[in-house]
């Protein structure tokens, strides 16, 4: 079976993306998983290679068909958008525009069958906005590029998987947006992903919104009864192993212990906090519901350490592993 081609977007050129890519592509375990194809800027990657002491030889390509994936080399679809000496560690509209273009090109490559999955290095939302692209993040941008009306974010860390009902909106807006149909669709997307990954009957725990999942109406204004319970009952009616709403504080502990295969979080920080405590360096972000496979590191651009050659590539390696496992086989 041919190893999948994973299109790795370089992310924000002013952040740590170029450095962690050069570190990851030097690893034999990554080469054993896939054929890595960077979509970015060869010049910037060479600068990052010097920072991290890489001996990889960059091969700038116009199309994926030109790539050879020879040992000791890194294949790059070179968009040539970043000038030499562009500063690391500072917010830049130029880097924001380039990050958008990398994602756009990678998406088209997968849609055309020239790559099998996308793995994204981090971008800066502020830089993206400064470049005129008003998206909250990668997830929403990819949904726009693929014409997908609704997607979900799944975070994977050692011993924990979390899918979110809402993500990049304020807490008050998130509570307003949560409704039974949305909760049910998110549960269904998460379950389908785990079934595809080989878990025949996923055990799914659903968080409440309020402390103690409302404690039978003691806390909140009946959000659990109105917004979550009907969705859980509908999923149970399909014969799925879905439990909830449960208090989030104990549900995450139980999931990490092995009682559940997936946790359904209601809002951004409810899900992100536990995942990042469990393993920021090894966390992976997966967009669920797209027509293309997309995984990502679960950390930001780290402008404070960018350009120093010290960024850890662990999350990117795990994201590549997940992309290779989820990618369709040729």
pLDDT of residue 280: 58
Mean pLDDT for each 10-residue chunk of the chain (330 residues)?
A: 92 98 96 97 98 97 96 97 97 98 97 96 96 90 93 89 94 97 97 86 97 86 95 98 96 96 97 82 82 90 97 94 82
pLDDT of residue 329: 63
Specify the DSSP class assigned to residue 4. P
From residue 76, give the alpha-carbon distance in Å to each of 39, 53, 179, 211, 286. 6, 18, 43, 49, 23
Q: Are 51 and 57 in contact (CB under 8 A)?
A: no
pLDDT of residue 75: 98
Q: Are 295 and 326 in contact (CB under 8 A)?
A: yes
Q: Are 18 and 12 in contact (CB under 8 A)?
A: no
Please give the Cα distance from 71 to 264 (Å, whole number): 41
Q: Are 154 and 288 in contact (CB under 8 A)?
A: yes
Q: Are 328 and 116 in contact (CB under 8 A)?
A: yes
Predicted model pTM = 0.84
Please give the Cα distance from 174 to 167 (Å, whole number): 8
Listed in sequence order, the residues at least 6 apart from 62 whose beta carbon sits closer than 8 Å to its beta carbon are: 77, 78
Please give the Cα distance from 21 to 116 (Å, whole number): 18
The structural domains of the chain, ordered by start, are: 5-148+292-326 (3.40.718.10), 152-274 (3.40.718.10)
Q: Are 204 and 163 in contact (CB under 8 A)?
A: no
């Amino acid at each position: 079976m041919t190893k999948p081609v994973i299109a790795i977007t370089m992310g924000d050129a002013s952040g740590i993306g170029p450095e962690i890519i050069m570190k990851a592509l030097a690893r034999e375990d990554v080469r054993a998983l896939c054929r890595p194809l960077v979509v970015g800027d060869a010049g910037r990657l060479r600068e990052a290679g010097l920072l991290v002491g890489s001996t990889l030889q960059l091969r700038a390509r116009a199309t994926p068909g030109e790539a050879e994936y020879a040992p000791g080399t890194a294949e790059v679809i070179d968009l040539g958008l970043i000038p030499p000496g562009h500063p690391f560690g500072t917010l830049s509209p130029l880097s924001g525009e380039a990050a958008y273009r990398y994602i756009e090109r990678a998406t088209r490559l997968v849609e055309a069958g020239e790559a099998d999955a996308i793995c994204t290095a981090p971008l800066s939302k502020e830089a993206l906005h400064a470049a005129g692209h008003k998206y909250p993040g990668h997830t929403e941008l990819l949904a726009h590029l693929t014409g997908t009306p609704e997607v979900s974010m799944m975070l994977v860390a050692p011993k924990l998987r979390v899918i979110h009902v809402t993500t990049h909106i304020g807490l008050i807006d998130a509570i307003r947006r949560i409704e039974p149909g949305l909760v049910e669709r998110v549960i269904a997307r998460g379950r389908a992903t785990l079934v595809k990954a080989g878990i025949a009957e996923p055990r799914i725990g659903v968080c409440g919104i309020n402390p103690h999942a409302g404690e039978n109406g003691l806390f909140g204004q009946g959000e659990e009864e109105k917004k979550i319970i009907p969705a859980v009952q509908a999923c149970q009616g399909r014969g799925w192993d879905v439990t909830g709403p449960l208090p989030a504080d104990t549900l995450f502990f139980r999931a990490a212990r092995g009682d559940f295969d997936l946790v359904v979080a209601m809002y951004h920080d409810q899900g992100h906090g536990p995942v990042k405590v469990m393993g920021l360096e090894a966390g992976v972000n997966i967009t669920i519901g797209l027509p293309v496979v997309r995984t990502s590191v679960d950390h930001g651009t780290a402008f404070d350490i960018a350009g120093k050659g010290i960024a850890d590539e662990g999350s990117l390696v795990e994201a590549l592993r997940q992309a290779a496992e989820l990618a369709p086989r040729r």
